[in-house]
Chains A and B, each alone.
Chain A
Amino acid sequence: MHSTAYPQAPASDQNPIAEFRAASKHYGEVVAADAISLSIMPGEFLSFLGPSGCGKTTALRMLAGFEAPTSGEMLLDGVRVNDLPPHKRPVNMVFQHYALFPHMNVADNISYGLRQQRPKPAAAFVAQKVAETLERVRLPGFDTRRIWEMSGGQQQRVALARALINQPKILLLDEPMAALDRKLRREMQIELQSLQRALGITFVLVTHDQEEALSMSDRICIMRAGRIVQIGAPRDLYDAPNSRYVADFVGKSNFFEGTLSSVSGLMGAVDLPTGPGRGRLGQDVAVGRKVSLSVRPEQIYLSPTGGAFAVQVRNRIFLGEHTEYLVNNPSLGDFLVLVSRQTEATLGAFDPGQDAFADWTPEAALILNND
């Protein structure tokens, strides 16, 4: 039911549960979504990731039916739904600030979806479903609580329960954890993930939090200025970003700018101020173009004795399992190095002001266009 990973090409024996076909949304001059094409497969956990204004929320709202595409098509279960109003769509949403009904108690909020069905389901059935759903989101016995009597985390569970009671084909989550503190957010992420596996419902999440997207999704759809920049499994996006934008947005990265001097096979060389820097070709690049050599901080070694680049330690930030150093090379400028606890145990910690050497392997560096 829950497939592990299908990065780019979803299994062909399944039909997509939802499909964007060159779907665009214009608000006057503003293009909120620019010809989005995407297939969402049944049972997958897909995230739209991007900064605010990148179109991720618009995409979700087109799925929910709050926005009709200006051009292109929106399909649910193979049927065109461009103009199908939200109340007729088999999808439900967890809203950003939950949008719980303040004049109803928990049970009435949760049963709202059921009570909209015609013919009306029997009261006993509604009560039973409410009890079941409350159990599912670990809020048993909260039926008669008032919304304002509950904590943010509890309200979030109510919102989740309310959206799940109609057994939607797709559950839409609009930044559902934005209002929760870090620890609670982590718990909720794990809970959401296990819930999704247990129910087998397709989840579509909108978030600007890359960590959230990376930890929960089967596939992530990175957006920028209304367009999809890259779609892929979290690990693929992290290891093989197709642009400097993605490399910068997903995880941290250092970018060393220079001209691409030569290409051989899958590798290339960039003229850095310190000499040629070799790396893997991350996207279509042409010799002579200005490019960036992208290196993740955890891929850089720091050594007191030897390495390609002489650096001086500028700053040290203790992150728990890692230590993040800001180092400076006179020619390359400042860049970040992440040193694990184990490495630090053998090499010792570096102090600000201390001279050291930094280096990385060509396989750890990625050559991307400057965009």
Chain B
Amino acid sequence: MRPKLINRLLLAPAGIWFLAMLVLPLAVVLVFSFGERGQSGGYVPAFTFAQYLNLPARWKAFENTLTLAPVGTLIVLLIAYPLAYFLALRANPKWRTLLLILVIVPFWTSILIRSYAWIFILGGRGIPALLDMLGLHNLRLINTPFAVLVGIVYGYLPLMVFPIFVSLERLDKRLLEASADLGSPPWRSFLQITLPLSLPGMATGCMLVFILLMGEFLIPAMLGGGKVFFVGNALVDLFLQSRNWAFGSAVAVALVVVMLVTVTIYMRAMTRWGNGRDDVSLM
């Protein structure tokens, strides 16, 4: 067979999947977003911007998503970096694999079950009860942004740890020796060598966590208890509860647009920052 034909055949499954699972649904959502809600819910074909004009009604969901997703990503990064650093550069190689497995172990159980655990821990009979005994009364943790952030950190930590771990592990240790040899104390070697060379891992991790967080609905649903809700929760509500498919579609389109814009800005910034550096391929 000619190579071109082989290439096409090899690409066909992925192409069909891409069309059927991504392009087609997005096109449907886009069409729906210009329609209207039917009498008993669902969708009635129309061409109106009414759904988009109604978007401010869900402003709070966007606000929560656009604050908690970046803040969550940042906190995850701040916790994941020292952990990845320890695993890659300080931990005894004998134990490294075991420790890495421990980082993923939580993934072996459903996030649903793990969130229930957090509901209990943060709920009235959990940490607040303990604090009550210590004299700190009427502290509410569950159904607050704090609870949602705890859930985010807990659920997304491994996704951030691994890319950073890989970039730190690949770091040529002799670069640190060279740095020390040239007169740099360890902490300055970290700032001048280790940190910049692990940026690609950080960038990848942040990207992964941020994109997934933008679409998150389970953690806010469980730990935010309807008080702290994301765009994802608004969508579930619109499609499944109030059956307003047209408005739901408009919200979904708006979320995709917001995501595209933020991710593009992020990528631009990162590429400009890493421009001309062979070691920094950011995605």
Chain B interface extent, by class: 20 to 34
A95-B174, A116-B188, A146-B278 are contacts. A101–B193 as well, Cβ < 8 Å? yes
* A103-B182 contact, Cβ under 8 Å, with A95-B174, A116-B188: no
Does the CB pair B278–A148 fall under 8 Å?
A: yes
Contact across chains for B183 and A146 when beta carbons are under 8 A apart: no
A166 at the interface (CB under 8 A from B): yes
Please name the residue on chain A nearest to B188 by beta carbon.
A116
Interface hits, B153-210 → A, CB 8 Å: 172, 174-175, 177-186, 188, 192-193, 196-197
Please tell me if A113 contacts chain B, counting CB pairs below 8 Å: yes
- Bound state CA distance, A102 and B170, in angstroms? 13
Contact residues in B for A97 (Cβ distance below 8 Å) = 174
State A112–B192 Cα separation when bound (angstroms). 10
- Quick check: A92 and B182 within 8 Å, CB to CB? yes
A124 CA / B175 CA spacing, docked (Å): 26
Q: How far is the CB of B177 from chain A (nearest CB, A)?
A: 6
Complex-state Cα separation, A59 to B184, whole angstroms: 22
Q: Which of A93, A95, A102, A166 contacts B279 (CB 8 A)?
A: A102
B276 an interface residue at 8 Å Cβ cutoff?
A: yes
Is A86 in contact with chain B by the CB < 8 A criterion? yes
A112 B182 Cβ-Cβ under 8 A: yes
Interface residue A117 (Cβ < 8 Å from any Cβ of B)? yes
Smallest Cβ-Cβ distance to B189: which chain A residue: A87
* CB-defined contacts of A148 to chain B, threshold 8 Å: 278
In chain B, what residue has the closest Cβ to A88? Answer: B183
Closest Cβ neighbor of A92 among chain B residues: B181
Cross-chain contact A166 with B182 (CB below 8 angstroms): yes
**Contact indicator B277/A166 (Cβ below 8 Å):** no
**Chain B residues near A92 (CB, 8 Å)?**
181-182
12 A-B pairs, CB-CB below 8 angstroms? A64-B181, A65-B180, A66-B177, A66-B180, A87-B180, A95-B178, A101-B179, A103-B277, A112-B192, A113-B182, A162-B182, A166-B183
Given A87-B180, A95-B174, A117-B183, 9 other A-B residues pairs in contact with their CB atoms under 8 A: A66-B180, A92-B182, A100-B178, A101-B193, A112-B184, A146-B276, A162-B178, A163-B182, A166-B183
B residues near A, CB below 8 A? 172, 174-175, 177-186, 188, 192-193, 196-197, 276-280
